């Protein structure tokens, strides 16, 4: 069962009241995975937003060499690329503990509830803008460092 107390701690739902969180509970589905199960695959259409309830989930690049892996903590929302062009998962998600419980919310369901509950849409868009914006800035930083190094070495 998904509790309002748990959703209240999810950053993506920051600022939402109990009534709005209850709407999310209605749209959400609690799923259980065992170690090694794949939740989604890098490059697939991103059709769901996911929130880790308990256990461990790792996000892994199938193409990076050396392999890049990041582990998520409880109440972390992932799969926010369902709101960002080109609407594909950038990484694959795997269950990395004996058992993990994960909340799944279909994007199509969210799209339907946003007009009636715009506060939920606004909270999620703020979270997503922050998430994609931070990644964008990290890439800009990386590019600036590379180019800066190149300019200084040519100087």
Partner 1 sequence: MSDQAKEILARTDAFRPLNEDERAAIADLSVIHEFSNGDRLFKDGEPAKYMWVISEGTIDLRFELPGRKTSEENTISTLSDNQIIGWSSLIPPYQYKLSAYCVSKKCLAMKINAEQLLDYLRQNPGLGYRVLAAMIRVVGKRFQQLQISAGQAPIAGAKVTVHMGTCGITAGARAVMTALTEEMARTTRQNIQVLTGGCIGRCPTEPNVTVAIEGEDPVVYQFMDAEKMRRVFKKHVIWGEVQAEFTSRREQS
Q: Which residues bind partner 1 (CB under 8 A)?
A: 83-86, 114-115, 118-119, 121-122, 125-126, 128-130, 132-137, 139-144, 146-148, 150-154
Q: Which is nearer to partner 1, 102 or 131 (CB)?
A: 131
Q: Which is nearer to partner 1, 3 or 134 (CB)?
A: 134
**Half-sphere exposure in the Cβ direction for 145 (13 Å, CA):** 6
Q: How far is the CB of 80 from partner 1 (least distance, A)?
A: 9
DSSP string, 16-85: --HHHHHHHHHHEEEEEEETT-EEE-TTSB--EEEEEEES-EEEE-SS-SS--EEE--TT-EE-GGGGST
Q: How far is the CB of 126 from partner 1 (least distance, A)?
A: 6
Q: How far is the CB of 8 from partner 1 (least distance, A)?
A: 18
């Amino acid at each position: 069962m998904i509790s309002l107390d748990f959703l209240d701690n999810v950053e993506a739902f920051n600022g939402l009241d109990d009534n709005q969180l209850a709407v999310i509970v209605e749209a959400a589905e609690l799923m259980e995975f065992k170690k090694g199960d794949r939740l989604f695959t890098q490059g697939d259409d991103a059709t769901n937003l996911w929130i880790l309830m308990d256990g461990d989930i790792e996000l892994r690049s199938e193409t990076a060499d050396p392999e890049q892996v990041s582990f998520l903590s409880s109440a972390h929302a992932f799969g926010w690329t369902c709101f960002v062009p080109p609407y594909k998962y950038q990484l694959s998600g795997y269950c990395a503990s004996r058992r993990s419980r994960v909340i799944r919310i279909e994007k199509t369901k969210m799209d339907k509830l946003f007009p009636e509950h715009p506060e939920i849409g606004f909270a999620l868009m703020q979270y997503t803008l922050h998430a994609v914006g931070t990644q964008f800035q990290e890439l800009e930083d990386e590019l600036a460092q590379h180019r800066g190094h190149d300019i200084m070495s040519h100087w």
